[in-house]
C-alpha cells in the first residue's frame, strides 16, 4: 500500500544515526505495514463520506507512530514519537500496536471525537464558502490550501481584517518531504516546487526572496491599519534571519526564541 516509492534523496539527513532503507516501506515492519494497509482499505470502503474523511484524518494522525521511526524511551516504555525531522530508523525502535494507536487517535483524550466535541462547542454555526467572495453571504468559513505566492488569485486586495501566519523556518523542518509519508496513503502528489524552504536545491537567497514575496502578497490582501501576527521559531537560522524581512523588524532574534510579532499595516493615503 505504501508504494515502492523511494524516500526523497535529500532526506537522508541522519548524521550519526542508522538511516532508513531507500523505500517508504522500509520505514515499517511487515506486520505494521500490513495492519495499516488493512485499516486504510477498510476506511476507504466507508460509504458515508464525512465518516470516511474523519477516519482518514485519524489514520494520518497515527500512521507515522506505527512506523520504525519511533525510538524506545526508558522513561516512557509504552509510547514513542517521530523524534527528528527526517526519515530515519533509530537503533532501538518501538513497534506499536496499530489497532491501539487508531483507537487512541479516535477515542483518546486528544483524539478525534474529543477534538470534534470541542470544535462543535466553539464553532456553533458554520457554512463553508466555495470562494472568498461568498463570505459576504451566509457562508462564514473559507478553507483553502494554496500557494501563498499566489494568494491574490483567491483573496482580493484590502479585504482581510487580521492575518496570523506561521511561515517556514528556513529548512529546519522539510515539511513537503515529510508530508510525503501521508501523501502516499492519501494518493496525492507532494508539491515540492512551491515550497519556500532551504535544501540542496533551494538556498538561503531563494528562501529570503520567496518569503519576502509571500509577505508582499499578505500585505496586499490585508486592509489598511489592520494587524498581522507572525510566529517564527528557528534554532539554526540566527544570522540569516536577522536580515530577513519582516523578522528583522524585531531587531535581534536569539536562539530558541519563539516570537510573536504584531505588525500594524500603515494606513494608506490613497
Ligand atoms: C512553520 S510551518 C506552519 C505549520 C502550521 N502552523 C501547522 O501547525 O501546521 C510552515 C508551513 O508553510 C508551508 N509552506 C511552505 N511554502 C509554502 C507556500 N509557498 N505556500 C503555502 N504554504 C507553504 C509548509 O509546507 C509548512 O506547512
Q: What is the grid cell recorded at 18?
A: 542508522
Q: Find the 245 Cα to ligand 1 centroid distance in Å.
A: 17
Mean pLDDT of 15-43: 82
Note the pLDDT of residue 17.
47
The domains of the chain are located at 9-122, 132-264
pLDDT at 216 over 50: yes
pLDDT bin (cut points 50, 70, 90) of residue 11 is low
State if residue 198 touches ligand 1 by the CB under 6 angstroms criterion.
no
Looking at every residue in the chain, the average pLDDT score rounds to 82
**Which ligand 1 atom sits nearest the alpha carbon of residue 210?**
19
Phi, psi of 261, rounded to the nearest 5 degrees: -100, 145
State if residue 168 touches ligand 1 by the CB under 6 angstroms criterion.
yes
State which of 166, 190, 208, 218 you would mutate to test the pocket of ligand 1, scoring each by most atoms of that ligand within 8 A of its C-beta. Answer: 166
Contact 240, 208 (CB under 8 A): yes
Note the pLDDT of residue 253.
31
Among 14-23, 45-54, 180-189, 208-217, whose mean pLDDT is lowest? 14-23
Note the pLDDT of residue 57.
96
Note the pLDDT of residue 30.
93
Q: Find the 216 Cα to ligand 1 centroid distance in Å.
A: 16
Among 71-85, 191-205, 233-247, whose mean pLDDT is lowest? 233-247
State if residue 221 touches ligand 1 by the CB under 6 angstroms criterion.
no
Among 6-15, 54-63, 159-168, 252-261, whose mean pLDDT is lowest? 252-261
Q: Is cis: bond before 213, omega within 30 of 0?
A: no
What are 233-268's pLDDT values in tens digits?
765 655 455 445 445 433 333 333 344 555 555 565
State if residue 90 touches ligand 1 by the CB under 6 angstroms criterion.
no
pLDDT at 23 over 60: yes
What are 109-159's pLDDT values in tens digits?
999 999 999 999 999 988 999 999 999 878 999 999 999 999 999 999 999
Note the pLDDT of residue 14.
46
Q: Find the 166 Cα to ligand 1 centroid distance in Å.
A: 7
What are 79-96's pLDDT values in tens digits?
888 888 888 888 889 999
Contact 232, 170 (CB under 8 A): no
Among 17-31, 157-171, 246-260, whose mean pLDDT is lowest? 246-260
Residue with CA nearest ligand 1 atom 3: 166
Contact 266, 225 (CB under 8 A): yes
pLDDT bin (cut points 50, 70, 90) of residue 20 is low
**Which ligand 1 atom sits nearest the alpha carbon of residue 231?**
1
Among 25-34, 176-185, 219-228, 255-264, whose mean pLDDT is lowest? 255-264
Residue 213 zone, left/alpha/beta (φ > 0; ψ -120 to 50; rest): alpha
State if residue 174 touches ligand 1 by the CB under 6 angstroms criterion.
no
Residue 89: is it exposed, middle or buried by C-beta count within 10 angstroms (0-12/13-18/19+)? Answer: buried
State if residue 147 touches ligand 1 by the CB under 6 angstroms criterion.
yes
State if residue 150 touches ligand 1 by the CB under 6 angstroms criterion.
no
Note the pLDDT of residue 105.
97
- Which percentage of the chain shows pLDDT scores above 90? 46
Amino acid at each position: 500500500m505504501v508504494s515502492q516509492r523511494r524516500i526523497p534523496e535529500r532526506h537522508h539527513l541522519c548524521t550519526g544515526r542508522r538511516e532508513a532503507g531507500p523505500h517508504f516501506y522500509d520505514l515499517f515492519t511487515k506486520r505494521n505495514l500490513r495492519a495499516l494497509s488493512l485499516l486504510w482499505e477498510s476506511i476507504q470502503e466507508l460509504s458515508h463520506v464525512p465518516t470516511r474523511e474523519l477516519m482518514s484524518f485519524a489514520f494520518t494522525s497515527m500512521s507515522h507512530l506505527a512506523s520504525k521511526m519511533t525510538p524506545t524511551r526508558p522513561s516512557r516504555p509504552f509510547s514513542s514519537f517521530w523524534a527528528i525531522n527526517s526519515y530515519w530508523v533509530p537503533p532501538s525502535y518501538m513497534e506499536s500496536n496499530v489497532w491501539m494507536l487508531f483507537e487512541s487517535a479516535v477515542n483518546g483524550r486528544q483524539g478525534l471525537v474529543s477534538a470534534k466535541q470541542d470544535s462543535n462547542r466553539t464553532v456553533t454555526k458554520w457554512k463553508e464558502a466555495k470562494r472568498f467572495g461568498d463570505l459576504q453571504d451566509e457562508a462564514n468559513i473559507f478553507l483553502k490550501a494554496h500557494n501563498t505566492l499566489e494568494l491574490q488569485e483567491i483573496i482580493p486586495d484590502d479585504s482581510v481584517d487580521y492575518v496570523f501566519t506561521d511561515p517556514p523556518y528556513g529548512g529546519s523542518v522539510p515539511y513537503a518531504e515529510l508530508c510525503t509519508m501521508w501523501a502516499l496513503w492519501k494518493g496525492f502528489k507532494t508539491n515540492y516546487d512551491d515550497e519556500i524552504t532551504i535544501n540542496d536545491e533551494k538556498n538561503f537567497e531563494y528562501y529570503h526572496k520567496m518569503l519576502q514575496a509571500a509577505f508582499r502578497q499578505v500585505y496586499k490582501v490585508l486592509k489598511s491599519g489592520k494587524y498581522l501576527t507572525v510566529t517564527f521559531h528557528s534554532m539554526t537560522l540566527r544570522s540569516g534571519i536577522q536580515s530577513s524581512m519582516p523578522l528583522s523588524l524585531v531587531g535581534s532574534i536569539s536562539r530558541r526564541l519563539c516570537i510573536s510579532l504584531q505588525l500594524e499595516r500603515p494606513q494608506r493615503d490613497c
